[in-house]
Amino acid sequence: MAVVGSANVDLVFRAPTVPAPGQTLLGSDFTSFLGGKGANQAVAAARLGADVSFIAKVGHDTFGSDIARTLGRNGVDVTFLSAEEGVATGTAGIVVADSGENAIVVASGANWKLEPEEIERALAATHPDLVLTQFEIREESVEACSGQDRLVVNPAPARDISDAFCAHIDILTPNRSEAEQLTGLRPSNDLTCWTCANVLFDKGIKNVVITLGSEGAFFATPHNGRRLPTLSVRAIDTTGAGDAFNGALATFLLQGRDLENAVQLANAVAAISTTRRGAIPSMPTLAELKEAVGRLF
């Protein structure tokens, strides 16, 4: 499997409120997390036993070195994770208020320097059975993933998708808000999820999985669709749950499991990840998953 996408560092400040323009606040806590949707999904898949190559770009800086080391320790092949001179690793500055409100500034940095030609060369060298990508890199870089045996696209953050590219997508995995932005319809129940899926089928996408948080996920083929519930857990941090789902879904599809079973297992992986803090640190192992939902194997 190849994961093509982003690698970021999140710098998280906790404060009484989100500061107003020109205001300085004394924060109560600071933490930093390695992440980015691509890196999170690559680790999620590797911890479940997938053979993962990560195709991405970081800056030639400390953050970039930290990301490469962390991914390597988690079993991800970083041969095609390159460091770009003169540009910073992607970084997000996040202020979280005591109320839970937040304000976020993202500097895409090196993620925006990942060129389509670099992706095409890496995919030609690795010959992956499945490619998983997201939208935290440039549109033309995402579209460089076309023409693969199987292509799973997580449209996050949402943006318009050309009909030409839709024809290459085997599985599209929007969450509720992304599905609404792509179709103009809010997937609030099973009927509206099915309606959203049909809009996407009309664009040429072959299968659709709409993630619904604690309500599970709605999977749809052109012939049928239904919602699959997830585990009931005490969630403490939902950061990276969608990435856990996508990495797991790709992994289990590669194992030859049908879409319904793969979605059920991915639901469980995402649920378990919410019981821990952070994104990469929260991704469960295959042994932990089997202990939780052995009946699904």
Kindly list the catalytic residues. 243
Which of left, alpha, beta for 75 (phi over 0: left; psi -120 to 50: alpha)?
Answer: left
Going from the C-alpha of 15 to that of each of 26, 101, 256, 280, the distances in angstroms are 7, 10, 47, 24
d(CA 67, CA 295): 35
Task: Determine the distance from the C-alpha atom of residue 283 to the mean position of all C-alpha atoms in its chain, rounded to a whole number.
Answer: 12
Query: How far, in Å, CA of 286 to CA of 294, rounded?
Result: 10
Helix (H, G, I), strand (E, B) or coil at 66: helix
Q: Where are the beta strands (DSSP E) in 86-240?
A: 90-97, 102-107, 131-134, 151-154, 171-172, 207-211, 217-220, 225-228
- Give 237's contacts (C-beta < 8 A, 6+ positions apart): 274, 276, 277, 278, 282
Say if strands 90-97 and 102-107 run parallel, antiparallel, or are unpaired: antiparallel
Nearest 5°: phi and psi at 207?
-140, 150
Between CA 205 and CA 210 the distance in angstroms is 13
CB 67 within 8 A of CB 9: yes
- How, if at all, do strands 8-15 and 131-134 pair? unpaired
Tally of residues, the chain: 297
Tokens 């970081």 belong to: 58
